[in-house]
Amino acid sequence: MRYPDPFLAAHGYAAAERRPLAADASLRTYTRLVGGPRPALLMDAPPPEDVRPFAALARHFLAAGLSLPEIIAEDAGAGFLLIEDFGDATHAALLDAGADPVPLYTEAAEALAALHAAPVPPGLPAWDAAAMARATAATFLDWWWPAAFGAAPSDAVRTELDAALHAMLAPFAGAQGFVHRDYFPANLMRLEARGGPRRTGILDFQDGALGHPAYDLISLVEDARRDVEAATRRAAVAAYLAARPGLDRGGFLGAMAACGAQRHLRVAALWVRLDRRDGKPGYLRHGPRCWALLQRSLSQPACAPLRDFLDAHVPEALRRNPMPG
């Protein structure tokens, strides 16, 4: 953990108590600062992390009236931010404590609808079929496949997967907007003093991109890290669609299925990479859920190209975490 003492001192936090928060799968770390001018978190994002996308997106969506952390101070060159502290009431923590999931998921869906309805920030990277195919290959083909089959995939397999993902995602390429890319309960906060969409604090948005908004809604209701009951899924989807009545419902639901299939395959294999490359085997516990969600997605007509690829190359008995290596 790096501590930028001159940076903290310049903004009145030299004497603040420092309480490190639990780390996630990234290189970023967060420290709660207690006793400074106002509640704050120190974000430490060493290279290759970059705090500038986080700061730019936070300022953009704050100006649009959403609840993202205010940027208190910034040293982009060193990789440090001081940001508003929303507290500990993540949706994940509330759900783990037994909260009724339906209000939390409907609030999250309403905030997501407001996020997607806001002006699109400039300069976003693409999260289109090509980017999604590359990201899938980087986990599924580069890590899951050798672990499952004992050898790297052939060039022909790589070409076929790329073609299948493009064919599945291309029908939905026309709908473009801001995509958070990690919109799920661990990155959402209940802010009791606020109302409407601002009641949900939104975190971990620095990888936001330009893509199909259905990607975020499927990330919420088919969470890779926790089970979501069918009634809760239906309530969240209904709340989102009610908040955006101009959407083509059928097309949007098809896009949810296609985006879900891509995400579930990529993330199921991501857990393998975190285990074998990064020494984080704990994430493998989420593998069975992701494979089950993928199987459910593959039953949808929009997912036929990916289903055909998997049927040709990956027997259903192998659609799971690979054996320990």
State the pLDDT at residue 47: 86
- Please tell me the total count of domains within the chain: 2
Domain edge (last residue) among 57, 84, 111 = 84
26 & 137 share domain: no
Intervals of the chain under pLDDT 70: 1-3, 25, 325
Residue 27 pLDDT: 82
What was the pLDDT predicted at 1? 61
Both 41 and 185 in one domain: the answer is no
Output the pLDDT for position 325.
59
In a domain, 325, yes or no: no
CB 191 within 8 A of CB 199: yes
Residue 129, classed as helix, strand or coil, is helix
Specify whether the CB–CB gap between 178 and 126 falls below 8 A. Answer: no
Amino acid 23: pLDDT: 73
- Answer yes or no: do 36 and 78 share one domain: yes
CATH number at residue 180: 3.90.1200.10
Domain endpoint, select from 84, 99, 117: 84
Residues in contact with 85: Cβ distance below 8 Å, sequence separation at least 6, in sequence order:
32, 33, 39, 40, 41, 69
Q: What is the DSSP track for 167-184?
A: HHHGGGTT--EEE-S--S
139 in the same domain as 38? no
Provide the token pair at 184.
Answer: 């799920």
Specify whether 18 is located in the same domain as 105. Answer: no
Residue 240: domain span = 91-318
Q: Residue 141 has what pLDDT? A: 98
For residue 324, tell me if it sits in a domain: no
Among the candidates 50, 68, 84, a domain finishes at: 84
Is 323 part of any domain?
no
By C-alpha distance, which of 208, 305, 209, 292 is closest to 254? 305
pLDDT value of residue 239: 98
